Amino acid sequence: MRRRTFSRMALLLTLCSPLAWASSPEETVVGDPERQGFLPRSWSTLAASSENSLALAANGTVWGWGSSFQLLLGTGDVLDRRAPVQVPGLKHIVSVSMSDHQSLALGVDGRVWTSGAMGWMLGLGTQAPQYTFTPIPTLTRVVATAPGNYHALALRADGHVWGWGLNGNGQVGPGEPVVSTPTAIPGLSSVTAIAVGEEHSLALREDGTVWSWGSNWVGQLGDGTQEDRALPAPIPGLTDIVAVKAGKFYSLALSRQGTVWAWGRNTEWEWGREHVGILGLGTGIDIQTTPARIPGLTQVRALAVSPLRVFAMRRDGSVWGWGVTQAPSTVHATPVELPAFRGAVDLALGHEHGLMRRLDGAVWAWGNDSSGAVGRGLAFHPAPVRLPGLQGVTTSVLALQNTFALRQDGTVWASGDNVRGQLGRDAGRYSPQPAPVPGLAGVTSLAFTTRPYAVRTDGSLWTWGSTTGNADGQPGEAPHAVPGLSALRAVSGTGPFTLALGQDGRVWAWGDNTQGQLGDGTTTARATPALVPGLSGIVAIAAASEYALALGQDGRVWAWGANYRGLLGDGTTTRRLSPLLVPGLTDVTHIHAGTMLALARRADGTLWGWGVRSIVDPQLPSGPYLLTSPTPITGMTGVVRAAVSANHTLALRTDGRLWAWGINASGQLGRGTQDEGFLPPAPVPGLSGVVSFSAGALSSQAVLADGSVYAWGDNPLSMLGDGVPIIDPVPRRVLSLLPRP
């Protein structure tokens, strides 16, 4: 089984969400080959129980909401929380998990913290309830946790498994009926993943085999019998497995090839009603005592389970489900596609609610909210709703001769030119060091066109100063709300016009319209925002100087405006005054608009580009000057995100590195040199754990998982924030975006 380093895992977690996870634990494991050799394949960044939810934050803190009945939120009181609140006492956490009676938090140092009302099953050796998260003293060097309703497992860095809790069926191994402190499970080694059901346990070993023990009354151990077993034993016929999951009385295994195997009980009861099909094998099965492959389900990359439902995330970005996929009574006995969850990168399923995080970083929830578990009031939500306040990823943006950094606390910090008051303070006086834009808080999205714009958590749009000599902004103008716009999700633009995306999926535009970039069928400029006709269901926008892109929830891309560089991707160079679909481009998850090239990241991790040939992909063989249709960029697979400027591109790949290509005359590729011509993709030296990044005209920036900002390239007026206005082709740390503890 392939080995993975802690730094890579931390990076993948940070990219999956706006609450984007704890700081990289690299310092903990450097020089520790034992720990690096037995890492789980993933950590849990979301957790759900019957009436509760947990999520991990960018600085390693934990946030929770829902019922306080079982003390699962660890807030120190018995007050229900209808919206996310920070859990006290938890720092530097890398994974969260929970059941109906226990919550667990795994720290970067390998310690495990627990809370819950049933003290006897918390692993602390006491019957006292825990109102706040308390470390389990005997557990160290842990890399994964799996809590069940009445017992729990922990995987240590040496590949051994420890368990505690109720043990009436041997689910914690041979021993007493109740195991009050963690005890080693005998007969297991080289384990890489663990899972627990109601009364049984699973372990995945490094050789791809699955071992099971505990209750087997409905065949959940998969050995062809219905006899309980306290000692772990391999499940016959299962090989090359990369992940395991356990429901209440069933088990699942995911193979390296992307197929899913199921066994155990195929029925589940909910409020006196019998639901058949939890195994995804159809309705003709009651008990499956050996693993059976779920037909028609391929290319699966991850699974999420609950007592009543299973969701499978496929490599093409789609999500398939079976069981009770829509409360209260929609049942599917075989997998069906669930379009509402497309693009999910993380899922957690409770009994009657669920959580997901999309590729754009936003957190969504659905289901029964009567106890606040959804976080959006007391209603029932049949479809996912976006949770406000959980989408703010720390970012930095380069604009003209300025740098603007969005911190996790929602404040905006700025440095560089200030002739027109674009720093929001002291108009005419440039700032060589970053300082906050006064009076601006709760920001989630930034853009800089004729002036700075910011979307706040309440959906309002704010602006200040001016970035050009145009009359729409006065030098030194303080931040203030733009009238007429509300319920916005994002703002975009790098030129003389601006786009804004509403929470309802509609797009607004204003500013210059010489090339039809406002998309209204005319070339008439407009100083006030108006809706772009014909666009709905949009989830992302990208605007350059003279054209615009919009990404629909169906994965297709719309384009309009100037096209003399082929940037609309329609195979022509004809200007378009209204949005048109880019032909042949599907399953897109991210879009990027530059002045010389446009990019689309597809669900399979490939990167596609169009525009000026030598800038899109310097590795392409000789051909026409322009690429007027989307073309895959050579070698750019496993891409997570990208950023474009006028003449260079940055892309973050799942190998944990930031790659750069294009022109390097000002050192904007970060290679320590200044070069002529066009350079092919290569990693930026010395950077790892990148969360977000930005490509300016002649410079670049990256934000790391610890909140630090690195910058390189051209540096007029010290726009990079290092106080030294000279070209620097080597990434240097210039700022930290995370608040001080």
Model confidence pLDDT, tens digit, residues 567-584: 999 999 999 999 999 999
Which amino acid type is present at position 511? G
Contact 295, 261 (CB under 8 A): no
Contact 713, 666 (CB under 8 A): yes
pLDDT of residue 471: 37
Length of the chain: 741
Which amino acid type is present at position 703? V
pLDDT of residue 356: 87
Distance of CA 126 to the CA centre of its chain: 37
Start-to-end C-alpha separation, the chain: 39
Q: Cα separation of 368 and 669, whole Å?
A: 49
Q: Cα separation of 574 and 562, whole Å?
A: 8
Q: Cα separation of 196 and 203, whole Å?
A: 9
118 closest CA partner among 78, 163, 69: 69
Which amino acid type is present at position 352? E
pLDDT of residue 86: 85
701 closest CA partner among 363, 389, 413, 409: 413
Q: Cα separation of 508 and 370, whole Å?
A: 35
Burial of 192 (0-12, 13-18, 19+ CB in 10 A): buried
pLDDT of residue 735: 58
- The residues of the chain scoring below 50 in pLDDT are 1-41, 360, 391-394, 467-473, 718-720, 736-741
pLDDT of residue 633: 95
pLDDT of residue 443: 82
Query: What count of other Cβ atoms lies within 10 Å of the Cβ of residue 377?
Result: 12
Contact 68, 81 (CB under 8 A): yes
- Distances in Å between the Cα of 736 and the Cα atoms of 406, 416, 431, 705, 711 are 10, 17, 17, 10, 12
Which amino acid type is present at position 449? T
pLDDT of residue 738: 39
Name beta bridge partners: 314. 300
Phi, psi of 606 (to 5 degrees): -85, 155
Q: What's the angle, vertex CA 579, arms to CA 576 and CA 581, rounded to 5?
A: 105
Query: What count of other Cβ atoms lies within 10 Å of the Cβ of residue 295?
Result: 13
Q: What's the angle, vertex CA 675, arms to CA 669 and CA 676, rounded to 5?
A: 120
Q: Cα separation of 355 and 404, whole Å?
A: 31
Q: Cα separation of 213 and 575, whole Å?
A: 66
pLDDT of residue 737: 41
Burial of 362 (0-12, 13-18, 19+ CB in 10 A): buried
DSSP of 679-719: EEEEEPTT--SEEEEEE-SSEEEEEETTSEEEEEE--GGGT
pLDDT of residue 165: 95
pLDDT of residue 17: 29
Q: What is the CA radius of gyration of the chain?
A: 26
The runs of H, that is alpha helices, within 209-333 are none
Name beta bridge partners: 246. 251
pLDDT of residue 9: 29
